Structure 1
């Protein structure tokens, strides 16, 4: 007997456009492993001055962490932390994220040309996974401290979406060499990519990264 169970739709903290008018852009912020949407929604607050007509939403990932009592969530399990696990997990999680993006754009009467995806760590993996494969290219993809799952599977990727990758030189969770690997694979696939490896930064987003991201999004939405 086939199960008809489907996971509940994604949701999380939101910010309406600072302008007070209807949203002209949508920025979706994807948190890292073990966090939730509240962990990154402040990025939206930092960028509202530059993007006054943008709506921001930071959805909570679909799965609770196993044995986690404090509400941490995951886009997909990380037990082996192997390249194969990243590919399988990101592919499995893409469907629920795509449904969320489609629903949010529909509610705001926007399309992907007004969409930016921003991700940190595991959320950056999902930004790459979903953003590079949307039927209509999003306006921008911004990845902080993440890696590109399935770099060898980009031969069929065709997107005009610009990508910005920001990483800390001292990242001991996702080492900075993943930035170079992603840049090489994306460039070979014909994707426009810019990168910044920030000195003295670990696995986090600092003010430099927020400024770089805000400028990138502002330019992408012009």
Structure 2
């Protein structure tokens, strides 16, 4: 079954970039749709797509998950993530085709588990996408990343230094790993910020997106 999603169409006549925003564990597309509405004012040529993850969340049945964080079997977690990636691949391919946009104009933005999915999606593409912007996230499965690594798009990670869900050290570990793999990647930490996105983070993320496709 195809993923359900919210979309926000470009306001200019020319649609020249596609931005997918992926929510975190137990959330849904409504949680991050406000990011699209805010950024649209500055990115009139962008088409935004904010999908729900395919599975009902085990902890919060009103929300969704890309894979079950309560699962203790790592093989099952990996399989769930791969199934979700295939469903994500399907909807992204369809949108790129519908809008007649090339992969190098595709940007993935993720929060927490959505960042994990964005990274894994991006590195497995035969055609390199424009980039990945990750909030409060990390690489979830290093072994899987190395196994599927084909492409090395630009990445930027933004993270609160008192994040209690995904400790900031996890972000630094991910960045160092990617640098060793010759990715163009950087990061920024925000003082006093927990597991969330700050106004400064939204502005810094917007600047990253503008620079990707300018």
Q: State how 1:82-121 maps to structure 2 within 5 Å.
A: 87-121=78-112
Q: Aligned partners of 2:38, 2:119: CA distance in 1, in Å?
A: 23
Q: What is the number of equivalent residue pairs in this alignment?
A: 213
Pair 206,61 (structure 1): closer, same or farther in 2 beyond 3 Å: same
Pair 25,168 (structure 1): closer, same or farther in 2 beyond 3 Å: same
Pair 149,86 (structure 1): closer, same or farther in 2 beyond 3 Å: farther
| Conserved 8 A contact 1:29-1:40 | yes
* TM norm structure 2: 0.92
Question: Is it true that 1:29 corresponds to 2:21 in the alignment?
Answer: yes
The unaligned stretches of length 5 or more in structure 1 are 1-7
Residue 37 of structure 2 aligns with which residue? 45
Residue 4 of structure 1 aligns with which residue? none
Shift of 1:151: 2.3
Shift of 1:144: 0.5
**Higher deviation after alignment, 86-95 or 32-41:** 86-95
| Conserved 8 A contact 1:24-1:114 | yes
Shift of 1:93: 1.9
Shift of 1:82: 8.4
Shift of 1:78: 1.1
| Conserved 8 A contact 2:32-2:50 | yes
Q: Aligned partners of 1:117, 1:138: CA distance in 2, in Å?
A: 9
| Conserved 8 A contact 1:105-1:112 | yes
SS in structure 2 of the partner of residue 166 of structure 1: strand
Q: Aligned partners of 1:191, 1:34: CA distance in 2, in Å?
A: 30
* TM norm structure 1: 0.89
Shift of 1:46: 1.6
Given candidates 9, 25, 37, the residue that maps to 1:16 is 9
Q: Aligned partners of 2:78, 2:179: CA distance in 1, in Å?
A: 19
Q: State how 1:155-166 maps to structure 2 within 5 Å.
A: 157-166=149-158
Question: Is it true that 1:194 corresponds to 2:186 in the alignment?
Answer: yes
Computed over aligned residues only, the root mean square deviation of the Cα atoms, in angstroms, reads 1.9
SS in structure 2 of the partner of residue 154 of structure 1: helix
The unaligned stretches of length 5 or more in structure 2 are none
